[in-house]
DNA sequence: TACTATAGTGTTATAAATACACTAAGCAAT
DNA sequence: ATTGCTTAGTGTATTTATAACACTATAGTA
């Protein structure tokens, strides 16, 4: 019968760019091709747990936003045999904060700008496209952005995350007005330090759990 | 390894009630329990095709709105063994128009009011709950309602579908204004006949394919 | 012809989204 | 200490969307 795998599309925003975590494959016919981290579901673990495990093993990342994206079940999507893959998407605050482990199973693991993906294995280009669509949609009606920001952040940083992902500029005053009216965030009382200009107020999220809130 | 199944949550609106199609099970430990129609994925068919096939076999229904809902992958969800189920949800115009076949595999197959579900097998109560949430959400920002209405329909009928599913009354004038402004529908030129009161204009959908349109 | 039932239609009020430009604060250079 | 530079922070007016609300029209039936 068909095997079940999980794949995780992990995004972060770094250097004003939306990045996705990819691994470079070693085995034929995908030598030099890249794929999202993932792997088989063990018989004694849930599908969700499998996604968490692969994420943890490949990138040392735990306890982050992980959401089921879609299940890819075409017959020919994997040349090694019948594999149905449950894809997840995932967000982390910043690329540098996590240890990305390279294992001997893969040639390389690194972050890639979503606009310039390398040669992709399987149907993973398609999976990333779907994840990106979902991310953009969720950004507009939920508070998922909390998963992309550090504990303390400025509203300018938050706005930049929105702008990078949505690919358009937002009005500063309207953005702040909206975010503040939603009570998503509150001031920490602290300010940024060491900038060669006026320091900014630091904010934190009032709730670090998924919420439905119409944002944009 | 784990087996892969599909389940289909099929909705219709009938007699001003939102109904879901269920089958009554024969095999232990679920004798007398009900489940959504579904079954195993064959090795040589895609997961999507499996959902279509089971839907066709169990209810004689083809070429209708079918959308992947969620994949349920908990270890203990099926007492017969490890089964990961890809759930779909589905909408059809009206209960009477389709032949619901009862096969010897099941004790019964019938429509149930979503507010009064019988004893449910597996995690199917949960699956239906998710499908219902999704349906309500999609009703508000897409044109999925076309799948629940016959070719020609009145705006009053359409409004009733919205009211039944959302569980609230809508203002007639605002509803019509909104629907007409979206150009979702157009007059057929025909009118209802045989009613003991003023006949209503019959409309049809301009596009019978999924569209994103902010409705409510 | 009048009674009944559903169809069909506009306006006003309220709320939300959008467009838009200046002052404030800190650091660095002189 | 003054000036220049850079980013932070703020309010109002306009436009658009949503929400509330009641009467006339038309066919069938009695």
Q: What is the DSSP string of A50-87?
A: HHHHHHHHHH---S-EEEEEEEE--TTS-TTS-EEEEE
User: CA geometry: angle at B16 spanning B12 and B18, to 5°?
Assistant: 35
Residue pLDDT, tens place only, B150-165: 999 999 999 999 999 9
- pLDDT at residue B172 tops 80: yes
Which residues in chain A come in under a pLDDT of 70? 95-99, 102-103
Q: How far apart are the first and last CA of chain B?
A: 45
A71 in reach of chain B (CB within 8 A): yes
Preferred mutation among A4, A38, A48, A76 to probe B, highest tally of B CBs within 10 A? A4
Q: Going along chain A, which residue ranges are E strands?
A: 3-14, 17-24, 34-35, 38-40, 65-72, 83-91, 108-113, 185-191, 201-205
Among all strands, which nt has the closest C1' to A196 (CA)? C27
A137 interfacial to chain B (CB closer than 8 Å): no
CB atoms within 10 A of CB B34: 23
Residues of A in contact with B75 (CB under 8 A): 44-46
B151-181: buried (b, 16+ CB within 10 Å) or exposed (e) per residue? ebbbbebbbbbbebbeeeeeeeeebeebbee
Q: What are phi and psi of B105, to 5 degrees?
A: -70, -20
CA-to-C1' span, A189 to C30 (A) = 35
Positive/negative CA dihedral, A145, A151, A155, A159: negative
Q: Which nucleotide C1' is nearest A172 CA?
A: D9
Cross-chain Cβ contact A73/B2 below 8 Å: no
Q: What are the tens digits of pLDDT across the range A67-116? A: 999 999 999 999 999 999 999 999 999 756 666 776 677 778 999 999 99
Best mutation site among B45, B75, B134 for testing chain A: the one with the most A CBs within 10 Å? B75
Report the SS3 class of residue B83: strand
* pLDDT tens digits, one per residue of A53-75: 998 888 778 778 899 999 999 99
Q: How confident is the model at residue A108, as a pLDDT? A: 87
Give the Å distances, CA to CA, from B60 to A176, B54, B63.
Answer: 54, 9, 10
| Average pLDDT of chain B to the nearest whole number | 92
Q: Tell me what pLDDT residue A32 has.
A: 94
Which residue is closest to A67 within chain B, CA to CA? B70
Across chain A, what does the average pLDDT equal? 92
């Amino acid at each position: 019968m068909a095997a079940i795998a999980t794949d995780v599309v992990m995004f972060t925003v770094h250097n004003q760019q939306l990045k996705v975590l990819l691994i470079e494959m070693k085995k034929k016919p995908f030598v030099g091709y890249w794929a999202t981290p993932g792997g088989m579901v063990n018989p004694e673990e849930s599908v969700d747990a499998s996604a968490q495990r692969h994420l943890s093993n490949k990138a040392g990342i735990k306890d982050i936003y992980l959401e089921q994206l879609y299940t890819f079940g075409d017959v020919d999507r994997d040349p090694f045999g019948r594999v149905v893959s449950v894809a997840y998407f995932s967000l982390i605050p910043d690329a540098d904060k996590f240890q990305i482990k390279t294992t001997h199973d893969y040639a390389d693991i690194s972050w890639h700008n979503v606009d310039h993906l390398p040669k992709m294995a399987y149907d993973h280009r398609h999976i990333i496209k779907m994840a990106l669509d979902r991310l953009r949609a969720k950004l507009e009606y939920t508070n998922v952005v909390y998963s992309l920001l550090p504990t303390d952040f400025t509203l300018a940083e938050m706005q930049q995350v929105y702008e990078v992902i949505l690919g358009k500029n937002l009005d500063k005053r309207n953005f702040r007005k909206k975010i503040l009216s939603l009570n998503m965030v509150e001031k920490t009382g602290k300010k940024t330090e060491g900038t060669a200009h006026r320091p900014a107020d630091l904010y934190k999220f009032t709730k670090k759990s998924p919420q439905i809130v119409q944002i944009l």
